[in-house]
Structure 1
Amino acid sequence: MLFTDLDLNEDLLDALYDMRFDECTPIQEQCIPHILENRDLIGIAQTGTGKTAAYLLPLLTLLCREPHPKDSVNCLVMAPTRELARQIDQALQGFGYYMDINGVAVYGGNDGARYEQERRSLSAGADIVIATPGRLITHLQLGTLDLSRTTHLVLDEADRMLDMGFSEDIMKIVENLPQKRQTILFSATMPPKIAELARQIMHDPVEVSIAVSKPAEKIDQSVYICKEGDKTAIIKHLFKEKAPERVILFASSKQKVKDLNISLQRAGYNVAAMHSDLEQKQRDEVMLDFKARRIDILVATDIVARGIDIDDITLVINYDAPHDAEDYVHRIGRTARAGREGRAITLVGERDRTALASIENLLNEKIARAALPEGMSAPVPDNMTRGKKNGTRKHSHTNKHYNNHRNGHNHTTSKSTKTNSRGKKGHPQQGKDTP
């Protein structure tokens, strides 16, 4: 289905035209019509399927259609991390470029000047507020946020928010919203806790499920069954075989990230670390350098596994097998995006056996084993997993997604000053592959 086949706002279609977004992904095709009908909706879809556009496009259309006060928060989008909040905000700027829509991004980890800017923006009202739960609670407690007239609520990556302990915060925020509203919930999975949350806060929701928990078809997956103490040596061996470029290296703890970063720096590699101990300004600088190719290797905790939109990652390495099998899918989903090919390598030490079995059980297959470098040996015979086939099975699901790297967080766009080739002046995000 084409975006022009949907009942979307004309100025919004102009922005999509400029960005060369023509065809809907499956999640967009199935969700947009229901949201345009003001239905509550549960969308089950993993990162990279285009879910951000699946709710932003119809909500922008509804906000233009419906009369609403300009001094209130009309739509609230909640996200688990500041990185995802920033990404959604950037997407909003692109989609709403020709529309008289204003949005505010609200998240923690900022200085006093940033907080004051948030306070002023919220007091003036905003069509769309994109925020993390903790920061929202702070503004509610200080009386700087009024949600009494909010008509649309979105919970993006709701499963992640519950995993991070935001359940109580979410319910407190919902208590401040009107009973009569549209509620949209997106999650990568549908565990009982998500079903219970939906039961409490939604009314007769439509459920749409797309390609749950399957890696992109072009990811070449492999594992090294190794001793824990050999992991760093294996990584250095891989980088000697092929110079690292556009690599994300995931580790399970902040301390491991810090140690790996130091070890690789001493070995002469162009590397930087990303973890929750960094201030927001430091995180922004690291991500900007990585996107600009000034850094070859990004060593990170799962803070980067979701909500970071970079298309050209060639290799993902799991220093540890994540204990949550869903996190494995999200981690390796950083590569092979937008139809590209990519590799995913997982190092499985003595303590990772159960996690690997869980991952292969989720994938319903055995991931291909890679031969260890000369001089290394596996700690035990490789018979601890329950895979059904040898080799790497490839899965297919829609890989399309929205990619946007414009800066800024508080914004108001006016269609009167911007035109494109259909009567509008050039959009800054022309030439992207897919939303």
Structure 2
Amino acid sequence: MTSDAPEHSFATLDLSAQLLQGVEALGYTQLTPVQAQALPAILEGRDVIAQAPTGSGKTAAFGLGVLSRVDAGRIQTQALVLCPTRELADQVGRQLRKLALGIPNLKLSVLCGGMPLAPQLASLATHDPQVVVGTPGRIQELLRKKALHLRGVHTLVLDEADRMLDMGFEDQIREIVGKLPVDRQGLMFSATFPEGIRALAGAMLRNPVQVTVASSESPTRIRQLFYQVEPGRKTPLLAALLLQFRPESCVVFCNMRRDTEEVVESLAHYGFTALALHGDMEQRDRDEILLRFANRSCSVLVASDVAARGLDVEDLAAVVNYELPTDADTYVHRIGRTGRA
């Protein structure tokens, strides 16, 4: 399929009045290209593999598919959405809850690592959620503790599947998938299609409908500048560039956790309010840092790719690659954050 399909109204889809209530509450009217191409097949129960960039409307696409098949009267987990990071899982969980506001008695649980285990175990012991959104490590842990039951799952979603493989989650994903019923619907969304994704799709999906949606943003809309500098001069140059361009908000990407902290310390010497964001932090600390960055009390966020996955900041003025990533796809994903609006 190509991405030049005409836009359609949500009203043209076979959606229940309950789901249309959620669509209306979110202010959605026209389908985005990925929704127009993927949703009809998803609602028919077909497996789908979709290549779609962040911000293309993919969460609503698989969310409406998931919720259309859930029976809120049946106290059993019926849909599982796997995400690479806590931030993305929280984001997906919030959007699914909004879409499901017209469905009474629906329990949706977000189950991620980095959060206390005891409250999650207590919630699952009360009764099974109909929809689970989570990260592979925590889902695997809850399955091994026999606290999470997936024998009733009829829809599996892998969101940002390429990033999950990059982060080393393939074994966990395969173990989780092995616990699911064979007769299920599989939906896979990925910004890129490396060989590992194709292999995983071959093992998990049955005769999938393939959807490809190019980014709606023209790359020329983003101004890219390159500076060649000695390693020891990188931080002074970074400070000088921030003083010259004075972006209201800026994300500086590093490849290693320790580098994020070193850059923050160096920028502090130059008078900048900068904060580090990396995967080893407790969730409450990450949430506080993201809140401070979003409300502009901190203007520079120095982040690793893992921590920034799922980061959704409006009107991001600048992205700095303090270190170049190891592959082109990650580079495009990083700099594309300035073009999301």
**Interval containing the TM-score (normalised by the shorter chain):** over 0.9
Q: Which has the higher helix share?
A: 2
1:222 correspondence with 2:225 = yes
Question: Separation in 2 of the partners of 1:18 and 1:261?
Answer: 40
Comparing both chains, which one has the higher relative contact order based on Cα–Cα distances under 8 Å and sequence gaps of 6 or more?
1
Which residue is equivalent to 1:26? Answer: 33
1:55 correspondence with 2:62 = yes
1:73 correspondence with 2:77 = yes
- 1:212-261 per-position Cα deviation (integer Å, ceiling 9, x unaligned): 79865522222112222222122111122233311111111111110110
**Partner SS state of residue 298, structure 1:** strand
**Partner SS state of residue 223, structure 2:** strand
Alignment of 1:9-158 (within 5 A): 9-63=16-70, 67=71, 70-100=74-104, 101-111=106-116, 115-123=117-125, 124-158=127-161
**Partner SS state of residue 149, structure 1:** coil
Runs of 4+ in 1 over 4 A off after TM superposition: 212-217
Which of 282, 296, 301 does residue 299 from structure 2 map onto? 296
**Partner SS state of residue 71, structure 1:** coil
Residues 189 and 212 in structure 1, CA contact (< 8 A), matched pair in contact too: no
Question: Separation in 2 of the partners of 1:209 and 1:317?
Answer: 29
| Percent identical | 40
- 1:324-372 per-position Cα deviation (integer Å, ceiling 9, x unaligned): 111111111221213xxxxxxxxxxxxxxxxxxxxxxxxxxxxxxxxxx
Q: TM-score, normalised by structure 2?
A: 0.92
Residues 215 and 329 in structure 1, CA contact (< 8 A), matched pair in contact too: no
Unaligned runs of 5+ in 1: 339-435
Q: TM-score, normalised by structure 1?
A: 0.73
Question: Separation in 2 of the partners of 1:143 and 1:161?
Answer: 23
1:191 correspondence with 2:194 = yes
- 1:381-413 per-position Cα deviation (integer Å, ceiling 9, x unaligned): xxxxxxxxxxxxxxxxxxxxxxxxxxxxxxxxx
Structure 2 CA distance for partners of 1:282 and 1:30, relative to 1, 3 Å: same
Task: Number of aligned residue pairs: give it.
Answer: 332
Question: Separation in 1 of the partners of 2:194 and 2:216?
Answer: 13
TM-aligned CA deviation for residue 304 of structure 1? 4.0
Task: Report the AA paired with residue 111 of structure 2.
Answer: V
- 1:91-129 per-position Cα deviation (integer Å, ceiling 9, x unaligned): 112222232232100011123xxx222123333111210
Residues 305 and 334 in structure 1, CA contact (< 8 A), matched pair in contact too: no
Task: Report the AA paired with residue 325 of structure 1.
Answer: A
**Partner SS state of residue 237, structure 2:** helix
Question: Separation in 2 of the partners of 1:239 and 1:30?
Answer: 42
Structure 2 CA distance for partners of 1:159 and 1:212, relative to 1, 3 Å: farther
Pair member with larger Rg: 1
**Partner SS state of residue 275, structure 2:** strand
Unaligned runs of 5+ in 2: 1-7
Residues 47 and 306 in structure 1, CA contact (< 8 A), matched pair in contact too: no
Residues 215 and 332 in structure 1, CA contact (< 8 A), matched pair in contact too: no
Structure 2 CA distance for partners of 1:331 and 1:46, relative to 1, 3 Å: same
**Partner SS state of residue 221, structure 1:** coil
Which residue is equivalent to 2:3? Answer: none
Residues 251 and 318 in structure 2, CA contact (< 8 A), matched pair in contact too: yes
Residues 305 and 330 in structure 1, CA contact (< 8 A), matched pair in contact too: no
TM-aligned CA deviation for residue 70 of structure 1? 2.7
